[in-house]
Amino acid sequence: MATPSLIDFAVIAADRVLKTLAGRHVPERDSPAESMPGVQLEESQRAHAAGLMRVNHAGEVCAQALYEGQALVARDAGVRDALLAAAREEEDHLAWCGDRLRELDSRPSLLNPLWYGVSFALGAATGLMGDRISLGFVAATEDQVCRHLDRHMHELPSDDARSRAIVSQMRDDEARHGTAALEAGGIAFPQPVKDAMTLVSGVMTATAYRV
């Protein structure tokens, strides 16, 4: 079988970006929310839960873009396959968050195209620095995401079992992705770099919550 060319990967990436922004991903796994009871939340609770799930949905849009950008320029085929496999699992998260937003009578962030474009460029730039740095960036990003999801578990209404089930499963998956990236040879980023990443992600989080 012929090795896919850069153009092949670009076409595949273009197809995936359209699906991501259009919300057309079909999850391979059932949503963790399906086994949880639905409750009528107070309006303030519903709005807060929707804002948090909109942030999570935007984060998954960013994850798709980061993985796609990194995979596009990955030098090792094994690293590329691992990145794309993680991206496919993240598609479940994207679909689950999208479904939950609809249940909460809300919508995704209007700035998702911007988040995707910036994240794709960042992923590609990181990937061009080499596979070990690229994998290290995955690990550092997933560490940030886990901390962010931990905060959401504390902030979500205690009665919102459906949102909490989704966030809990996402947290488990993200932690596994981060560990796998380091085990695959990723470089552990120093704390100052992680702190800078936290500041940048905070801008997206604060904006996506409202817009």
Task: Write the pLDDT tens digit of every residue in 105-142.
Answer: 999 999 999 999 899 999 999 999 999 999 999 999 99
Least confident range of 24-28, 166-170, 174-178, 189-193: 24-28
User: What are residue 188's phi and psi, to 5 degrees?
Assistant: -70, 125
Q: Please report, for the domain that includes residue 159, its CATH number.
A: 1.20.1260.10
9 domain residue, yes or no: no
d(CA 211, CA 209): 6
Would the CA dihedral through 27, 81, 179, 56 be positive or negative? negative
For residue 180, being part of any structural domain is answered with yes
> Domain residues for 129?
41-210
Question: Judging by beta carbons within 10 Å of its beta carbon (0-12, 13-18, 19+), is residue 158 exposed, middle or buried?
Answer: exposed
- State the pTM of this model: 0.87
Q: Give domain status of residue 124, yes or no.
A: yes
Contact, 141 vs 197, CB < 8 A?
Answer: yes
The tally of domains found in the chain comes to 1
